[in-house]
Structure 1
């Protein structure tokens, strides 16, 4: 460690993504660690209740008399005094909950940082929360904090390499397809994967987690939209549901909600983007330039699974009258598996690029592509993943979760025929699939496709990169 200056760091990410766990691992490199979490909104804590909780945690940590704080300035100054010497990592977790009832919470924190906290050159303060928009609005985009933030990280789900490491440590012996089913539901969210008992069959696990009235994933959706987003929950829930019905642009969404695109709608979509629930899929021109319009995609596999597969059965689940003994009995699951697989592919594009022997330096763009019918092309087409590389080369990637037959080649040939590219460009078809290629079609598939990628094979390979860690922060010690 180098002792240069104190650090103020922001850590964001959806609920259950492992933010607190990451900081706890990070804390192993520090001699002293203090952490506190704001009280959740389910108990409707007042400002004074939050302050009393803060005082109690300080008293327990430092084995001191419990103080009575009137406001956050007092509380933060008290903590700064106790940590003014020695090496300290301080975690203020779920900071948006902590701030409830005090409109000047962020300004008070900034003042105490300037006057007290930062004077300890061996102090590292982490502001953490599941409501990423609060941190963005009140800290990152707050002019008062300009020049004070050492770094930031929006933590996402585990990628395929990290998931393989996770399963290896837990001696998971599920088949590749069973793992696909798990990821189609959990999407690589660490807490959801931790809830699985790997000694039990997949069906038993997911019945108890999803289709039992006390199941963790049966009750999770309401906690996300009621506890996390509170008053904004209903409108954010409505946006998610609309985006599950069809591919919508921002303009389409605004029309359906009968609201202005440049007003609240943009803000709501941004909140969902920051939380990792929604993304904007931009198409790219052959030059590599992003087009102005984008389609909205629900990126969180759990949300889609809950709305499509769990919620329709909620009454039967609550009455304990539902028994599902096979993966294929789950209503609507087969129909959404394709969408879930698309999410997994897009989140793990780095692994797909590696399968195609492409380096990051070669890739100009890698995204879904939508072409509308016009007088300048041969028709509309939708491409699951279009990778544009240097040397005027494109990879047209088709993602298939179902059975494979001759129609697949015909469908892709039609897309290749309709896709408008400059004459100098070369186009290579790639198939990313779950089902086995029938032996009778194997030679035909090999002739047509530049490469076929069996996604489940990625779940049997051991990863080589490290588990998530706090990034290097300039000036950190």
Structure 2
């Protein structure tokens, strides 16, 4: 059986429900392929009495037929029960099956891909609300776990439900992709022995998605892995992009449009810039669209230093989406050796810098640990200054505003060796610090922090300019 890697905080939340003296309604959400089903199945394996998964775009009668089959299998009866006419009958069937078991033991009922069950006019959600409020919530040995990839639907209809499920969720969690540490640990369980730089290259293309990483075989280099998954005829990720978004969003073309706009602008876009680039209309529809992308983990939002929320910057956060749009979507070459050729191009150099920066933004906990400020309260933000045609602009992709009256300005650089600061780059960095100080009028002490793969080479330009260093090795820590 495949081993459960990482997820310590999430495992603790699920296990706490097992020791509870009350009924538990647990909601787990996160993007497709991130490992929600596996996590719940592993933690609750000994207590699971019924597991049912919704089918995407399936009609109600098919979902009900599938539900009856699951109950029949659990009953192990030669004569299966009749197919329920509606979800109210289906939940009555579930109560009759699980009631006797709950008198003997702690038991888990698991609804996977919950949003797919609640199609328009299906009556599923109202029937589930009645099932939980009238019966489930009174069963002290019962845990009902529900999960779904449509994170925005889960937030709106379950976590923030204004009707019968209002404040009924007892535990909730958003499952994120693996960190670099978890990715490394997972690959080791599969006897995949890659060094950190190789793993980083794979992560830059695939992200920390367990389902993608599962396809990696021992003895393959990062180049071979990316070739196989992204550029061969039957590669898992060749056509994953459209399937990924269409399975999560009803009007996926609008979401894809925003993702493409963000992929083309590595520094990110404000809400108004997204509206302009994508031809959207300002209002609730655009807010909902952006919220859906953020809750599903494809887009991240950053509040600029000393700015209000209206100036927030949206960035593409999904490594695979960025890689797909840059190299797979319009690729004319496929097959063995494709990635080796592309990885020597100038476009690879620009992409690798953007991808590495995105990964660093997700590992700010490790960055703070590396520079010794994990115990200090900090606020993470970005900053950019565009004065116009005549002035000199500047941009900081990550700054840590610290409660100890200091600001760590993080400069992120990807390299296959020690990064050497040249005379011109040193001048550029000093100008950036000066512009930041002048424009923000901050009185705080500025510490320049270099975040690189193999560290920053010691030379006269580094001395006196760089106060802290973070390397790839730091990013791989737990």
Structure 1 counterpart of 2:254, from 235, 248, 260:
235
Structure 1 counterpart of 2:25, from 8, 14, 26:
8
- For the pair 1:395 / 2:408, whether they are aligned, the reply is yes
Counterparts of 1:363 and 1:369, CA distance in 2: 19
Tell me which residue corresponds to 2:106: 87
Contact in 2 for aligned 1:8/1:125 (Cα 8 Å): yes
**Distance apart, 1:62 and its partner CA:** 1.9
1:31-53 CA deviation, whole Å, 9 max, x = no partner?
A: 34321111133xxx211011101
Question: Closer, same or farther in 2 for the Cα pair 1:242/1:31, shift >3 Å?
Answer: closer
Instruction: Write out aligned runs for 1:82-231 (5 A).
Output: 82-84=97-99, 85=102, 86-144=105-163, 145-229=165-249, 231=250
Counterparts of 1:83 and 1:448, CA distance in 2: 66
Q: How many residues align?
A: 444
Q: Secondary structure at the match of 2:22?
A: coil
Counterparts of 1:338 and 1:186, CA distance in 2: 15
- For the pair 1:385 / 2:398, whether they are aligned, the reply is yes
Tell me which residue corresponds to 1:273: 294
Tell me which residue corresponds to 1:298: 316
1:155-203 CA deviation, whole Å, 9 max, x = no partner?
A: 1111233223223333332122211111101121111111111222222
Q: How much is the aligned-residue C-alpha RMSD, in angstroms?
A: 2.3
Structure 1 counterpart of 2:450, from 431, 438, 441:
431
Q: Secondary structure at the match of 1:200?
A: coil
Structure 1 counterpart of 2:354, from 339, 342, 349:
339
Counterparts of 2:463 and 2:378, CA distance in 1: 27
Structure 1 counterpart of 2:327, from 300, 303, 309:
309
Tell me which residue corresponds to 2:44: 27
**Distance apart, 1:284 and its partner CA:** 2.8
Contact in 2 for aligned 1:13/1:155 (Cα 8 Å): yes
Structure 2 counterpart of 1:413, from 425, 430, 437:
430
Q: Which runs of 5+ in 1 are unaligned?
A: 464-477
Question: Closer, same or farther in 2 for the Cα pair 1:248/1:100, shift >3 Å?
Answer: same
Q: Secondary structure at the match of 1:100?
A: coil
**Distance apart, 1:60 and its partner CA:** 1.0
Contact in 1 for aligned 2:426/2:461 (Cα 8 Å): no
Counterparts of 1:427 and 1:331, CA distance in 2: 33
Question: Closer, same or farther in 2 for the Cα pair 1:399/1:61, shift >3 Å?
Answer: same
Instruction: Write out aligned runs for 1:333-372 (5 A).
Output: 333-360=348-375, 362-372=376-386
Tell me which residue corresponds to 1:467: none
**Distance apart, 1:327 and its partner CA:** 6.7
Question: Closer, same or farther in 2 for the Cα pair 1:283/1:27, shift >3 Å?
Answer: same
Counterparts of 2:461 and 2:98, CA distance in 1: 69
1:130-151 CA deviation, whole Å, 9 max, x = no partner?
A: 0112212222222221121102
1:336-381 CA deviation, whole Å, 9 max, x = no partner?
A: 1111111111111000000010124x1331122223439xxx8542
Counterparts of 1:83 and 1:120, CA distance in 2: 10
Counterparts of 2:240 and 2:230, CA distance in 1: 9
Counterparts of 1:61 and 1:240, CA distance in 2: 43
Contact in 2 for aligned 1:176/1:457 (Cα 8 Å): no
Contact in 2 for aligned 1:434/1:454 (Cα 8 Å): yes
**Distance apart, 1:453 and its partner CA:** 1.6
**Distance apart, 1:283 and its partner CA:** 1.3
Q: Which runs of 5+ in 2 are unaligned?
A: 1-17
**Distance apart, 1:325 and its partner CA:** 4.0
Question: Closer, same or farther in 2 for the Cα pair 1:364/1:456, shift >3 Å?
Answer: closer
Q: Secondary structure at the match of 1:344?
A: helix
Q: Secondary structure at the match of 1:391?
A: coil
Contact in 2 for aligned 1:51/1:69 (Cα 8 Å): yes
- For the pair 1:78 / 2:93, whether they are aligned, the reply is yes
Question: Closer, same or farther in 2 for the Cα pair 1:324/1:444, shift >3 Å?
Answer: closer
Contact in 2 for aligned 1:400/1:434 (Cα 8 Å): yes
Question: Closer, same or farther in 2 for the Cα pair 1:408/1:83, shift >3 Å?
Answer: farther
Contact in 2 for aligned 1:180/1:456 (Cα 8 Å): no
Q: Secondary structure at the match of 1:303?
A: helix
Which stretch of the first structure deviates more once superposed, 403-412 or 63-72? Answer: 403-412
TM-score (norm 1): 0.87
Tell me which residue corresponds to 2:15: none
Structure 1 counterpart of 2:271, from 250, 273, 277:
250
Structure 1 counterpart of 2:66, from 53, 74, 80:
53
Counterparts of 2:341 and 2:182, CA distance in 1: 28
Tell me which residue corresponds to 2:472: 455
